[in-house]
Structure 1
Amino acid sequence: MKLSVLDQSVITKGQDARMAFEETVKLAQRTEELGFTRFWVAEHHNTNGLAGSAPQVLISHLASMTQHIKVGSGGVLLPQYSPYKIAEDFKVLETLFPGRIDLGIGRSPGGSYETRLALTDGLKKSMNEFPRQVGELQQYLHEGSRVKAYPSVQQPPMTWILGISHRGARVAAEHGTAFTYGHFINSSNGKRALDYYHTHFQPSAGLKAPVSNVCIFVICAPTQEEAEEIARSQDIWLLEVERGIDTRIPSKEEAANRIFTAREREKVAENRKRTIVGTPEKVKEELQLLSEIYAADEFMIISNVSDFEDKMRSYELLAESLLAGEAG
């Protein structure tokens, strides 16, 4: 099984964006040492706790601070941008870091209506144009259009579509891109989406056979009790994000002192369907089961907890359990 990382550069209360980015760099360097396959950063806007608003910039920095791990976007919000410009950006990255760049794209609006308009400079763009944009992006990447996206590269970055339903899987299959299923957002549609993708995949200039992975929240610790304690900060964070209250992660102290209402306990239990929390043995068992259900051999791990050392140790325990003998 392959393991990769999705990192959202989340800010813990009492810290700032600079500290969040420094931790993202440290995590990329350490997971590279541990044998993880790829390291992706997300794109979020108009939110106080998610520092990564410009993945192309952060990708360049991370690639320069690591040696061989693939670095990419999880993902660029294509509906807000020009496919031509995205192709140029990622060809530049590929030229600077040959063979190490992934281009993950998503259909997400990127925030509120006002935020979308700010991103598009007031242009009201339809989300329904996403399939067309994907097709044009593929043409620009592989120089199949009259207008060329330069610089020319020997092998353009692999395009990944990030999806949480069979609709995203269909676009990925029809356009011959790789596909990432966001189990950490929606735990109920993954098998249908991935089955559709693998069954209906159409080869393209960029990819001859289907390639997929699954992204999931994971918190791993030496004991179940410790894992549960660490997970409280992420549980609270998800509650507050969903309510639009705050996207910063609560401190360890705040998490320890928080008393959940009955409704919040129900919501935490529902959110845990998107998460694996436990010992290395438990996490390994559950990932192997999901691997069989999803027919996927690569998982992207996301962990949004308050203490960076807890987060780092979680990835280290995962590597010890699932990547033994594979670290470089």
Structure 2
Amino acid sequence: MKLGVLDQMAQPKGMTAEETAARTMEMAQYVEELGYERYWFAEHHATKGLASSSPEIMMAAVAAKTVKLKVGSGGILLPQYSAYKIATQLSQLQALFPGRIEAGVGRSPGGNETIRSLLADGKQDQLADYPDKLRDLITFLSKEGKVRAAPRTEDAPNLFSLGLGENSAKLAAELGIGYVYGHFIKPNRGKEAHQTYRAHFRPGYLDHPDTRSAIFVICGETDEQAEELAISQDVWLLNVEKGLDSRVPSIEEAKAKIWRVKEIEQIRENRKRMIIGGPGKVKNELLHLSERYQCNDWLILTNIYDFHEKQQSYRRIMELFS
């Protein structure tokens, strides 16, 4: 089993963005010592509690403070930017940290229409241009491209497209790049997405298929402790979905919340996006999903309030498979 971290830099209440960034650096160094292979950063805008808005910058910062940890984006919002500019940033990172750069790009608008327009410098909605921009990005990163991004490194960074189903999987496969399935967003199309990717893969940018999946995991000492920790993530995710305060509440604040019936139902639905439990439960469920998806490479998200317990969750997960 290959394990990595996908970090949205979810900011706990009572902590500043600066403190969250410092804790993130500490976490990356910690998981490298545990044996995690990679550390990826999400891209979010116009939120109060998700502090990862520039994955390229966080990739550089973490790579500079670690030794062999691969750093990546999960993912850069390609429709909103120039494909050539993204290619130059990735090439620059590859020159600084050869063999450690993994670029994941996605189709998300990054926020509401105002934010999308600001990111795209006022240009019209470009989401439909994603396949063409992805082809351009591949060309700019490839040695065979007519126009190649500088600096012209010996090897190109690994490239992945993020997606939530068969259409995105087929696109990545036909372009010959890697594919990352977002189980933590949409858990009901994983098997079909992975099957589609493998069935349609054509050697291109990559010689062989490369698939990963991203999922929320909280691993406690016991199932009961994991449930105790998870309540802060449950409330956080509800607030994110409602467009409310996206900082992570404490367990005490989360426990004090008065639940509505619809909220309880939504938490149950959201739990399909997660694995929560003690070591035995986490191992069994992750192995089950790995078999179902035919994927043994996972990016783990853990958005709980307590930093120490977050570290311990990552430690327990690694110990299950090391």
- Equivalent residue for 2:86? 86
Q: SS at 1:75's partner residue?
A: strand
Q: SS at 2:276's partner residue?
A: strand
Q: How far off is 1:40 after superposition?
A: 0.1
CA contact (8 A) 2:72 2:104 kept: yes
Q: SS at 2:109's partner residue?
A: coil
Q: For 1:119-166, what per-residue CA distance to the aligned partner results, in whole angstroms no more than 9, with x for missing partners?
A: 011111321111111111001001333332110111110101111111
Q: SS at 2:266's partner residue?
A: helix
Gaps of 5+ in 2: none
Matches of 2:309 and 2:156, distance apart in 1: 36
Q: Which amino acid aligns with 1:156?
A: A
- Equivalent residue for 1:43? 43
Q: Does 1:231 align with 2:230?
A: yes
Q: How far off is 1:253 after superposition?
A: 1.9
Matches of 2:258 and 2:318, distance apart in 1: 33
Q: Which amino acid aligns with 2:270?
A: N
Matches of 2:220 and 2:76, distance apart in 1: 32
Gaps of 5+ in 1: 324-328
Mapping of 1:49-68 within 5 angstroms? Answer: 49-68=49-68
CA contact (8 A) 2:139 2:146 kept: no
Matches of 1:214 and 1:123, distance apart in 2: 32
- Equivalent residue for 2:285? 286
Q: For 1:74-125, what per-residue CA distance to the aligned partner results, in whole angstroms no more than 9, with x for missing partners?
A: 1100000011110100000000001000010000010000101100111113
Per mean C-alpha deviation after superposition, the further-off stretch among 142-151 and 299-308 is 142-151
Q: Which amino acid aligns with 1:139?
A: T
- Equivalent residue for 1:310? 309
Per mean C-alpha deviation after superposition, the further-off stretch among 309-318 and 247-256 is 247-256
- Equivalent residue for 1:12? 12
TM-score (norm 2): 0.98
Mapping of 1:244-283 within 5 angstroms? Answer: 244-283=243-282
CA contact (8 A) 2:44 2:50 kept: yes
Over the matched positions of the two proteins, sequence identity in percent amounts to 46
Alignment length, in residue pairs? 322
Question: Aligned Cα RMSD in Å?
Answer: 0.9
Q: SS at 1:217's partner residue?
A: strand
- Equivalent residue for 1:326? none
- Equivalent residue for 1:69? 69
- Equivalent residue for 1:180? 180
- Equivalent residue for 2:219? 220
Per mean C-alpha deviation after superposition, the further-off stretch among 288-297 and 162-171 is 162-171
Q: Does 1:144 align with 2:144?
A: yes
Q: How far off is 1:259 after superposition?
A: 3.0
Matches of 1:245 and 1:302, distance apart in 2: 20
Q: Which amino acid aligns with 1:147?
A: V
